[in-house]
Every structure is written in structure tokens, then in C-alpha cells.
Amino acid sequence: MSIEVRHLVKRFGPLTVCDHLNLDIPSGELVALLGPSGSGKTTLLRMIAGLEQPDEGSVLFHGEDATEVSVRERNVGFVFQHYALFGHMTVADNIAFGLRVRPRASRPSEATIREKVQELLHLVQLDTLAGRFPHQISGGQRQRVALARALAVEPKVLLLDEPFGALDAKVRKELRRWLRRLHDEMHVTSVFVTHDQEEAMEVADRIVVMNQGRIEQEGSPDEVYDQPATPFVLKFLGDVNLFHRRTDAGEAVSYVRPHELDIVAQPQADTWSVTLSQTLTVGPNTRIEFLREEDGSLVDVELSREAWRGLQRELGLAPGSRVHLQPRRVTRFGQGSA
């Protein structure tokens, strides 16, 4: 089921939360809405779901206007960050819920429901926990149950709002890989909201970067990372150093990511002279902070821990050492954009 968003506007009082949004989501894709808090991601998701009415514009499902169609009839599945399971029901009963509450005419037989629940339990790898109650399983397992419950009614569209937001980093990582695999098996058109760029890059086929109610850019993870359309996208998708330069036309800004700078001993035409200030090693990477001689600004360089140790020995580097930085890639935008 493809989704099209056309000129969608939503205002809350004086605040325009979604500002003429246009978006095409092809059938079977997994799309991430990525942006900072308050950028309008959840509101857009809720309008796709039918939980919120737009002030202007429309949402089309498979080419048909669904703007006036009720939530129930849109046939969407939801998983939210704190989408509480029914505490008094077992895992299996939670998953079966959506099927059991169907009107008699469209309700499958109890045997079919049980079979379907078994299949879903298997799919989310919780076969052995069918009889447990929500308080007897972990947070990550609960989110998998929530997903199985959403999938039970065979939704045409799956909407996920920060589904792993409340979980710790390790479980989050496991679950996002698992969601990607699940999507590859099911191919349900899915839209998920996240403010975590790593999560979006790892899971999604396509990323929609939102800022202040507008879409800044959409594209594959590689496209938005390698060819950011705006300074906002560049900055939101990872750390970046800014270099300000005065030109005849005003101020020009260049952007270089910390891992795209080489530390060299000899100055060259395109290098900057710097003084080593301090280093910080976290896990496999070392972040080295330099002061630029030209204007005293800070420049971060990131290397693997091994590469840094090697270089440190080779060049005899310590705080106060003078070296030169050579960018492998510099990004510039039009005048005045920062």
C-alpha cells in the first residue's frame, strides 16, 4: 500500500506544526521520519494514521483519498513508545486481541486465531513466552509483543512512533536489526518516527529529515548523508566542524566531518595549522581536539584508537604539538547558510 501526503498543513493555535508537507512513500518501503524534538514527526504520523485531522491537504492510500476515512477503516497498525499491553492478558491473548474484537462476520474462528498467534509468536521470536503476562517479560520483549499485536490484523500500513525509545542502548540496537529483518520478510509499508540518526540510517530504506514542520530532505540513507541538501541535514546526521571565512560577498562557511580530516606533519596548500589541545577515547574511537591557529576555533578530528596511537608515536604528538589538518572532503552551501 503506497502512501501519498499532499500539501498537508496542521496548526496548533498560532504554531504551524506541519507546513505544506508533500511525501510519496512507495508500497513496501520502510521510511524513517527523522528530526529533532518538536519538528512535527509525530503529528505527521498521526495524520497518516487518521488520529489527527489536517487543517489543509490530504493523505492518499494507494492513490485514494483517505483524509476523511476513519482510523479503523484505514487498516493501520500502530506501535508507540509506551504502547501499553493489556496487563491482565497473557502475551498470546494480547496478540489475539485485534482479531477477537472483530465483528462476528469478519472474525476468524478461534482455531484460526490460535494458529495465527502461534505464527506471530514465532515471527517475533517469543514462542516460549505465550503464557506470560506483560509484567513478567522485559521491555524489549514487550515491544515485540506490541509489534506482533499490530501485525495480527494484517495492517496495510505499519506506523511506529519511537518504538524502541524507552529501551536501553543495547536492546535498542538488537531490536532495530530485528525490525529490519522482519520488514524484509513482511514488506508491510512502514513509517517510523525517530530522533536518532543512527537508528534511521541503520533501519530505513528512505529517510525523511524534518525541521520546524518542514521536510528538509528525503532520500536513501547514503543520499542524505553523502549529499546533504542543507546545513541542517548535514549537522543533524553527524558531528561536523564549521569553518567561517570572510569573502567579498560576505561570510562563507565550509563543513568538514571529524573523520574526514587527516593529521599531517608538513603544511600544504589546503591544510590548516593547528595546535593539539586534548584527546578523548571512547570505545574504539579517539576524538582529538585542536585549536586552529588562524582564528583560535576548535576543530575535532576522529580516528580509530589504533590509528591515533600509531600517529601519536610516529609524530610524537602531545598537548601543545603543532601539526596540520588536511580535509579529505569539504562541503559548502550557498551564501549565508549556516
Ligand X SMILES: Nc1ncnc2c1ncn2[C@@H]1O[C@H](COP(=O)(O)OP(=O)(O)OP(=O)(O)O)[C@@H](O)[C@H]1O
Of 5, 8, 17, 79, the one binding ligand X (CB under 6 A) is 17
Measured distance CA(225)–CA(237) in Å, rounded: 7
Taking a C-beta distance cutoff of 8 angstroms, is the pair 215, 230 a contact?
no
Number of residues that bind ligand X (CB under 6 A): 12
Taking a C-beta distance cutoff of 8 angstroms, is the pair 324, 268 a contact?
yes
Q: How far is the CB of 14 from ligand X (least distance, A)?
A: 10
Q: How far is the CB of 32 from ligand X (least distance, A)?
A: 12
Residues 6+ apart with CB under 8 A from 279: 286, 287, 288, 289, 308
Measured distance CA(180)–CA(209) in Å, rounded: 19
* Dihedral angle sign, alpha carbons of residues 138, 143, 148, 153: positive
Taking a C-beta distance cutoff of 8 angstroms, is the pair 217, 224 a contact?
yes
Of 43, 90, 143, 190, the one binding ligand X (CB under 6 A) is 43
Rank residues 173 and 214 by Cβ distance to ligand X and give the closer one: 214
Measured distance CA(159)–CA(243) in Å, rounded: 40
Of 28, 38, 98, 108, the one binding ligand X (CB under 6 A) is 38
Backbone dihedral region of 98: left (phi > 0), alpha (psi from -120 to 50 degrees) or beta?
alpha
> Would you state the cell numbers that stand for residue 179, as one nine-digit string?
525490525
Q: How far is the CB of 40 from ligand X (least distance, A)?
A: 4
Q: How far is the CB of 49 from ligand X (least distance, A)?
A: 12
Does the footprint of ligand X cover residue 40 (CB under 6 A)? yes
Does the footprint of ligand X cover residue 35 (CB under 6 A)? yes
Footprint on residues 184-223 left by ligand X (CB under 6 A): 193, 195
Q: How far is the CB of 338 from ligand X (least distance, A)?
A: 22
Of 37, 106, 247, 266, the one binding ligand X (CB under 6 A) is 37
* Interface stretch with ligand X, choices 30-38, 87-95, 261-269, 273-281 (CB under 6 A): 30-38
Query: Where does this chain bind ligand X (CB under 6 A)?
Result: 12, 17, 35, 37-43, 193, 195
